[in-house]
Amino acid sequence: MNEVARPASASATDAPEAPAYGRIAFVASEATDAVQARAELVARYGNVAPEDADIVVALGGDGFMLQTLHRFRDTGIPIYGMNRGSVGFLMNSYRHEDLPARIAAAQRVVIHPLMMEATDTSGRTHRAPAINEVSLIRQSYQAAKLRIAIDGKVRMEELICDGVLVATPAGSTAYNLSAQGPILPIGTPLLAVTPISAFRPRRWRGALVPDRVRVDIAVLESEKRPVNATADHFQVLNAVAVRARLDPNSTLIMLVDRDHSIEERILREQFD
């Protein structure tokens, strides 16, 4: 089994001996297809509580996969997702046959998430990890005014926009792509800083920065132009300052089918 270490970027390593995944926990979203798939797989392979499992099989879509990865962050328990949702970019295809063999042959991907530190108008600081992106979105009819600094140096004094996001390679095909941001191949040691509907400077399309840097975003005129900050599904209302940087001490583990690797999925997104 191949193991790939990634900050949402990555570097391939020599394949270690395949671990045994004898105890499987099946978890499912509330979607009917996911619930039915879980019942079928439990009947065929048995089931253990997630905290006692060698591996967790997540059944649903990308949103549920993100929730499951967050739930088992830093536990060392790998997550093997099977698509019972809609897009399923992060998921493997659903088949109930030969599941233990598929899992044993899968590629192991270690993700180091972004960590968001967001300060709100009351002075409270909120911390949350993000696998896909950290984003700031305007909260009212007023456009947001933002200042962007990289490693403490201001790079953009004022960005007038609907918002901005900092995306990892793993998240570059999600909201980042919808906002016309670049697709970053897995393994790229970069983050995408992508504006959302930029008004001034109108022609700014964003930037690529090394994944080792600290990105600080200050909200200007926060009372007049309130902004929300999010790290994947975690939201902070009325943010005034947001910091995003990679957390090398935090890990999430995914297993992906080698014939449908993350690299292959990203290439298909760019050429289909």
Chain segment 259-271, per-residue pLDDT in tens: 777 777 777 777 7
For the domain that residue 208 is a member of, what is the CATH number? 2.60.200.30
Are residues 26 and 148 both part of a single domain? Answer: no
pLDDT reading at 26 higher than 90: yes
For residue 90, the domain's CATH number is 3.40.50.10330
pLDDT beyond 80 at 11: no
Residues 122 and 98 in one domain: no
Verify that 210 and 152 share a domain, yes or no.
Answer: yes
| C-alpha pair distances (Å), 126 with each of 111, 118, 130, 134, 234 | 22, 5, 13, 13, 10
Span 71-85, average pLDDT: 94
* Whole-number pLDDT of residue 271: 75
Average pLDDT over residues 245-265: 85
Q: Do 122 and 212 share a structural domain?
A: yes
Confidence band of 20 (pLDDT split at 50, 70, 90): low
Are residues 260 and 217 part of one domain?
Answer: no
State the Cα–Cα distance between residues 111 and 67, nearest whole angstrom.
14
Residue 90: the pLDDT is 84
pLDDT at 19: 57
Average pLDDT over residues 114-127: 97
Q: Which amino acid is at 211?
A: D
Contact assessment for residue 116 and residue 132, using Cβ atoms and an 8 Å cutoff: no
Q: Let me know whether 158 and 264 are in one domain.
A: no
Work out the average pLDDT over 3-12.
Answer: 41
One domain, residues 62 and 121: no
What are the Cα distances from residue 28, in Å, to 23, 50, 59, 82, 147?
A: 17, 12, 5, 10, 41
pLDDT score at 263: 72
Quote the CA–CA distance of 191 and 119 in Å, as a whole number.
22
| Domain hosting residue 62, numbered range | 3-112+251-271
Pair (23, 133) in one structural domain: no
Residue 5 has pLDDT above 60, yes or no: no
Question: Is there a contact between 191 and 133 (Cβ–Cβ < 8 Å)?
Answer: no
61 and 153 in one domain?
A: no
pTM: 0.81
Q: What percent of the chain has pLDDT over 70?
A: 91
Give the total number of structural domains in the chain: 2
pLDDT in tens, 85-119: 877 778 999 999 999 999 999 999 888 999 999 99
Residues that are catalytic: 62
Using pLDDT thresholds of 50, 70 and 90, give the confidence band for residue 203: confident
Based on the fold, state whether residues 136 and 172 are members of the same structural domain: yes
Kindly state the average pLDDT of the residues 173-185: 89
> Which of 100-104, 123-127, 182-186, 251-255 comes out lowest in average pLDDT?
182-186
8-22, 38-52, 77-91, 175-189: which is most confident: 38-52
How do residues 212-245 score in pLDDT, each as one tens digit?
999 999 999 999 999 999 999 899 999 999 999 9
Neighbours of 135 (CB within 10 A): 28
Say if residue 125 is in the same domain as residue 210: yes
pLDDT at 272: 66
User: Could you tell me whether strands 163-167 and 125-130 are parallel, antiparallel, or unpaired per DSSP bridges?
Assistant: unpaired
Asked if residue 122 and residue 232 are part of one domain, the reply reads: yes
CA dist 172 and 191 (Å) reads: 9
